[in-house]
Each structure stands twice: as structure tokens, then as C-alpha cells.
């Protein structure tokens, strides 16, 4: 099985410091839906691993988050793609859970659900916590410059082994060559 793990906010859709709290606030980034469709059509199983601390902060409830995720699934499907599963952490940083990135709990859930080793599995994100979680889980971290990616890129030290692309579509074009 070819698996790829994507972060959501800043990779698939625009990010917001005020959090994405409604379906109307969820807006896909240019090319992201096409990118997911390309992955799916190339035989990749696409999963999303995302921190959603707006739930833990009381800014959004699980029902609204589910509606936002449904909008994302529907938009991807309309482009000919599919997201096989979404794994999310609803906790705040103060909760000290094991699923909130940069910890690798979401990746461990993915490993368990799909019964596979994540060594070398591409994990595309826009923040240092995405890179750290992927690295800890043995996945191959890929950074995109969208969302917080440009700031994150400036924090990469030396030859970190992290490949950097401008957008999700650019990263996907390289993966499906």
C-alpha cells in the first residue's frame, strides 16, 4: 500500500490564527484539491493528521468539526480524489496528550489502523510540529511553504533531510512522477 499523510490547515486549506470554526471559513488552498486527486489516482491512500485544538479551547464542537471535514471530503471527491481517513487531536497544548503533534500519537493511530510501518511514508506539513511528529514516527517529512511553511523553513537547521516545496501540488507532482 502506498500511503501519504497530510496535515490539514496550511497544507490543504488556508490556516487562521483565529482557527477554522465553520464550514464557511474552510477554504482550500489553490491546487490542493487537485493534488489530493492526483495522489488518489496514482494509487496512494491519503490520510490527514491534524491538530484541532479549537475543540479543546471550546471554539468549535465535534459536530461542527465533522461538518467542516465533510466539506473537505466532498470538495476532494468533486475533484476525483479521496481521503481515506482523518485523524485529529482535539486537545490543547496544556492537555499534555500523546496525540497532539509534535508528539507522534496520530501517526501511531495511523500505523495501527492501516497495519503498516510508516518508515519512509511521505508526511506533508507546514510546521515544525508536523516535521517532528513525522520524524519520530519514521515517516519522511516534507515541508510546504504554504501556511506556516515559509517561517518553518527558516528554522530548519543545516541538512535536516526535510524536502521543501512551494505547495502541496508541487510536492505531489514530485511524488507521482
pLDDT mean across residues, the chain: 97
Reported pTM = 0.97
Q: Which fold has domain 2-175?
A: Rossmann fold (3.40.50)
72 confidence band (pLDDT: 50, 70, 90): very high
**What mean pLDDT is predicted for residues 17-35?**
98
State in Å, rounded, how far the first CA of the chain is from the last one.
Answer: 17
The residues spanned by each domain of the chain are 2-175
Under a CB-based contact definition with an 8 Å cutoff, are residues 41 and 100 in contact? no
Of residues 126 and 156, the one with the higher pLDDT is: 126
Encode pLDDT of 112-137 as tens digits: 999 999 999 999 999 999 999 999 99
Catalytic residue numbers, as ranges? 7, 9
Strand stretches in the chain, DSSP E = 2-6, 44-51, 85-89, 122-125, 140-144, 163-165
Transcribe 51-115 into DSSP letters.
E-HHHHTTSS-HHHHHHHHHHHHHHHHHTT----EEEEE---GGG--SSSTTSSHHHHHHHHHHT
pLDDT for 171 equals 98
Provide the grid cell at 116: 503498516
Under a CB-based contact definition with an 8 Å cutoff, are residues 11 and 47 in contact? no
Provide the grid cell at 81: 480524489
For residue 147, how many other CB atoms are within 10 A of its CB? 24
Q: Is the pLDDT of residue 158 over 80?
A: no
Q: Is the pLDDT of residue 159 over 70?
A: no
**What mean pLDDT is predicted for residues 29-58?**
98
**What mean pLDDT is predicted for residues 34-42?**
98
In the block, residue with C-alpha cell 495511523: 110
Provide the grid cell at 144: 510546504
CA atoms within 13 A on the CB side of 25: 15
165 CB contacts (<8 Å, ≥6 apart)? 142, 143, 144, 145, 171, 174
In the block, residue with C-alpha cell 488556508: 14
Amino acid at each position: 500500500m502506498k500511503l501519504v499523510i497530510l496535515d490539514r490547515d496550511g497544507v490543504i486549506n488556508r490556516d487562521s490564527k483565529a482557527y477554522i470554526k465553520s464550514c464557511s471559513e474552510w477554504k482550500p488552498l489553490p491546487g490542493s484539491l487537485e493534488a489530493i486527486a492526483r495522489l488518489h489516482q496514482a494509487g496512494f491512500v491519503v490520510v490527514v493528521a491534524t491538530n484541532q485544538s479549537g475543540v479543546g479551547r471550546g471554539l468549535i464542537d465535534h459536530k461542527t468539526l465533522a461538518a467542516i471535514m465533510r466539506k473537505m471530503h466532498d470538495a476532494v471527491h468533486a475533484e476525483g480524489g479521496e481521503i481515506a481517513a482523518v485523524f485529529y487531536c482535539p486537545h490543547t497544548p496544556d492537555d499534555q496528550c500523546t496525540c497532539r503533534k509534535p508528539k507522534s500519537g496520530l501517526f501511531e493511530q495511523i500505523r495501527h489502523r492501516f497495519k503498516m510501518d510508516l518508515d519512509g511514508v511521505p508526511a506533508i506539513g507546514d510546521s515544525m510540529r508536523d516535521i517532528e511528529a513525522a520524524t519520530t514516527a519514521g515517516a519522511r517529512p516534507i515541508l510546504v511553504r504554504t501556511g506556516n511553511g515559509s517561517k518553518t523553513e527558516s528554522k530548519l537547521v543545516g541538512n535536516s533531510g526535510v524536502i521543501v516545496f512551494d505547495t502541496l501540488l508541487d510536492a505531489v507532482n514530485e511524488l507521482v512522477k
